[in-house]
């Protein structure tokens, strides 16, 4: 009540309440909402962490909820062996890294061309980019596979080899070809992001360089590319993550290449097998359930690490994409 007396009249108190109390209440609601969503996002990961340290007995024990009673780290070595983890992540990182760098570079170049040059047919190219965003990969994957199996654009190659195209599958070539032409998965979106970035990039710098006699290549490689480091990180990260978790493209184009997504898929199909075979294998279900949680955790661990390193830069760059002028 003491506080209340400090105001000269009721009206002033009401004004004070509006000015201080309402924002406070809003901030409280905001905090609760954000914490709730964060929990929702983290929950599956936390569950997996807790399961990955459980012994099989804990899974059947109704009194164990999230803290394991028989704490054991031995699931990890086992899952690492099961997935052939080190080889799989090495392979995946190589493929995703090469793809990410090429896609980052090519999407930036395309976005730069679209944003900064007013050539004839720019609208058309922009439209093609939007269309490439909309085309679902499932529709074109098999024709692509058949084309890469017998790569022969316009019959040029068969002129030299005598009637046979090149067999490009079972190698990195399909991935690299798609990346170099900025037509890989979700590349339309990356081009769009790069275009947005360059529309906001100050024009004065390249004008000054142009006055000083720098050619277009010099301007692009010496000024634009270093200036686009932040958008490069965004595109690289998106592309890397997508490739890391992709099983569709790698299954078709490079079947023998062991990736982490493939290892997980194999685990999944083994599991489906056990389910079919029924109760005789019931003891294995607990085992697979633990292995599954542990493997999924192991698979996203490098991504989490990378995200932790890049997150500040990543979020800053995202903010900056939009900034005009």
Partner 1 sequence: MAAKRRLSSRKNRIGYIFVAPFCFGFVFFLLIPIIQSFIFSLNEIKLGQSGYTLTYLGWSNYIRAFQVDPTFRMDLVQSIGQMLLDLPIILFFSLFSAILLNQKFHGRTVARMLFFLPVIVSTGIMVMMESNNPVYSMMMDRSVADAAASMKESANSMELVLSLLGDGLPAPLMDYLVQVIGRLYDIVIASGLQILIFLSGLNTIPPTLYESSNIEGATAWENFWKITMPMVGPYFLLNAVYTIIDSFTNMNNVVISTIRGYIVSFSDFSYGAAISWIYFGIIFLILGLLTALISKKVFYYE
Q: Which residues inside 222-281 make contact with partner 1, applying CB under 8 A?
A: 237-238, 241-242, 244-248, 251-252, 261, 264-265, 268, 271-272, 275
Residue 182, phi-psi category: left (phi > 0), alpha (psi -120 to 50), beta (remainder): left
Closer CB to partner 1, residue 9 or residue 242? 242
Q: How many CA atoms lie within 13 A of 211 on its CB side?
A: 6
Q: Is 134 in the site for partner 1 (CB under 8 A)?
A: yes
Q: Is 81 in the site for partner 1 (CB under 8 A)?
A: no
The DSSP string of 239-284 is HHHHHHH--HHHHHH-TTS--HHHHHHHHHHHHHHHHHHGGGGHHH
Residue closest to 247 by CA, chosen among 237, 257, 238: 257
User: Which residues contact residue 323 at a Cβ distance below 8 angstroms, ignoring those fewer than 6 apart?
Assistant: 200
Q: Is 209 in the site for partner 1 (CB under 8 A)?
A: no
User: Which position among 15, 25, 94, 140 is part of the footprint of partner 1 (CB under 8 A)?
Assistant: 140
User: Which position among 113, 171, 214, 227 is part of the footprint of partner 1 (CB under 8 A)?
Assistant: 113
Q: Is 57 in the site for partner 1 (CB under 8 A)?
A: no
Binding segment for partner 1 (CB under 8 A), chosen from 9-17, 70-78, 93-101, 189-197, is: 189-197
The SS3 assignment for 63 reads coil
Closer CB to partner 1, residue 9 or residue 162? 162
Closer CB to partner 1, residue 7 or residue 84? 84
Restricted to residues 6-35, the positions that interact with partner 1 (CB under 8 A) are 27, 30-31, 33-34
State the chain's maximal CA–CA distance in angstroms.
99
């Amino acid at each position: 009540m003491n506080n209340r007396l400090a105001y000269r009249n009721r009206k002033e108190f009401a004004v004070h309440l509006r000015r201080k109390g309402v924002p406070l209440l809003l901030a409280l609601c905001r905090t609760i909402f954000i914490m709730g969503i964060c929990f929702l996002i983290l929950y599956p990961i936390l569950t997996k962490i807790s399961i990955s340290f459980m012994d099989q007995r804990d899974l059947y024990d109704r009194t164990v909820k999230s803290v394991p009673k028989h704490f054991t780290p031995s699931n990890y070595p086992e899952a690492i062996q099961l997935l052939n983890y080190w080889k799989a992540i090495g392979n995946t990182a190589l493929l995703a890294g090469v793809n990410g760098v090429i896609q980052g570079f090519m999407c930036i170049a395309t976005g730069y061309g679209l944003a900064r040059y007013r050539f004839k047919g720019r609208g058309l190219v922009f439209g093609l980019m939007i269309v490439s965003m909309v085309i679902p990969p499932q529709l074109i994957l098999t024709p692509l596979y058949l084309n890469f199996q017998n790569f022969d654009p316009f019959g040029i190659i068969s002129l030299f080899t005598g009637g046979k195209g090149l067999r490009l599958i079972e190698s990195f070539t399909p991935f690299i070809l798609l990346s170099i032409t900025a037509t890989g998965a979700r590349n339309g979106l990356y081009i769009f992001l790069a275009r947005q970035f360059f529309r906001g990039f100050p024009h004065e710098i390249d004008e000054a360089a142009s006055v000083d006699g720098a050619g277009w290549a010099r301007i692009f490689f010496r000024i634009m590319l270093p200036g686009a480091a932040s958008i490069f990180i965004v595109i690289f990260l998106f592309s890397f993550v997508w490739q890391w978790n992709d099983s569709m493209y790698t299954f078709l184009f490079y079947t023998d290449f062991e990736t982490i997504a493939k290892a997980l898929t194999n685990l999944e199909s083994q599991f489906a097998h056990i389910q079919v075979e029924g109760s005789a294998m019931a003891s294995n279900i607990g085992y697979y359930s633990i292995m599954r949680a542990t493997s999924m955790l192991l698979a996203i661990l490098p991504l989490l690490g990378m995200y932790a390193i890049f997150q500040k830069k990543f979020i800053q760059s995202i903010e900056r994409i939009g900034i005009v002028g």
